[in-house]
Structure 1
Amino acid sequence: MVKKSPAAQGRKRDVRVRLPDDQHGEAVAEAARQGVSLSRYVRTVLLEHCLTRRPPDEVASALSSLSRQLSAIGNNLNQIAHVLNAGNHAPVSQVLKDVQAANSETRALLRNLQP
C-alpha cells in the first residue's frame, strides 16, 4: 500500500487538465525550474490566480502605480502643512487636482474588479 504524505492526505479530489504538447512542455519546464512536481505547480498556479481572486496583472500594476502616486501626494501634503504651520502660504490647487485624479482612477479600478 502506498502511504500518502501528510500534505496529500487532505486532498481528496482529482482535477484533470488536457493541454497541447507545447503548453504541457512549458508547464513541465516551469515546474522543473521551480523545483516542484507538475501537480504542485498546477495547483499553486490555480490557487494563486483563480481561487484567491487575485487581481489581473494590469489591475495590480495600476494599483501599484496609484500607490506610488498617493505616496507622492501625501509627501506634497506634508510639505504644504509644514509651510502653512510656519505661517507662510502654499499653493494647494495642484495637490487637490492630483488627489481627485487618483480618486477617480481608484474608483474606475474598483468598478472593474467587481463581478
Structure 2
Amino acid sequence: MTANDNPQLQPATRSGSQKRVRIRKIPVACDDEEFLRIEERAREVGLSRPSFLRACGLGTPGPRARRSPPVNAEALGRATAALNKVGSNLNQIAHVLNARGTSLTTQECFAALAETRAAAAAIRELLGHKDRP
C-alpha cells in the first residue's frame, strides 16, 4: 500500500518553507529510567529526543535537526542568581534616584550596569549564544 492508496498516509498540506513533512511515527515504549537516559544523552549531544533517536537508528539526526547546546543547570542557576542580585541592586538605585537622595555615585551606577552586563553575558554563554561585538 502506498501513500496514494490510503488517505491517512497522505502528507499534510505543506507550507511554502517546508521541504518535506515527516508523517510516520514509531511509538516506542520505555520505562521512566530508559526515558530519562534517552533524554540525558540527547541533551549531552545537543539534540532533541527525536533527532537523537534518528541519529542512533540512521546515523544522522536529519538535515534540519536543531542542535541545542547542553545547559549546565548548576552554572545557569548561579548566573540567574547573580542577575537577580544585580536586579535588586538596580531597584535600590532607582529607589534612591526617585527619592532624590545624594548618597548614590555615578561610579556605583556604572558598577551595577557592569554587573548586569556580565551576568547577562554569562547566561547567554551558557545557552550557547554569542555576544555581539
TM-score (norm 2): 0.46
Q: Which runs of 5+ in 1 are unaligned?
A: 1-10, 15-38
- RMSD of the TM alignment (CA)? 3.2
**Taking CA–CA contacts closer than 8 Å with sequence separation of 6 or more, which of the two structures ends up with the larger relative contact order?**
1
Q: Which runs of 5+ in 2 are unaligned?
A: 1-25, 43-48, 51-66
| Pairs within 5 Å for 1:1-115 | 12-13=27-28, 40=31, 41-47=33-39, 49-50=41-42, 51=49, 56=70, 59-89=72-102, 90=104, 91-111=108-128
Deviation (angstroms), 1:88: 1.2
How many aligned positions are there? 79
Distance 1:102 1:60, change over 3 A: same
Deviation (angstroms), 1:62: 1.4
Identity percentage of aligned residues: 34
1:45 is matched by which residue type in structure 2?
A: R
Distance 1:12 1:103, change over 3 A: closer
Return the alpha-carbon distance in structure 2 between the equivalents of residues 67 and 76 of structure 1: 14
Moved over 3 A (4+): 11-14, 52-57
Distance 1:47 1:54, change over 3 A: farther
TM-score (norm 1): 0.52
Return the alpha-carbon distance in structure 2 between the equivalents of residues 13 and 70 of structure 1: 41
Contact 1:77/1:95 (<8 A) preserved: yes
Return the alpha-carbon distance in structure 2 between the equivalents of residues 12 and 70 of structure 1: 42
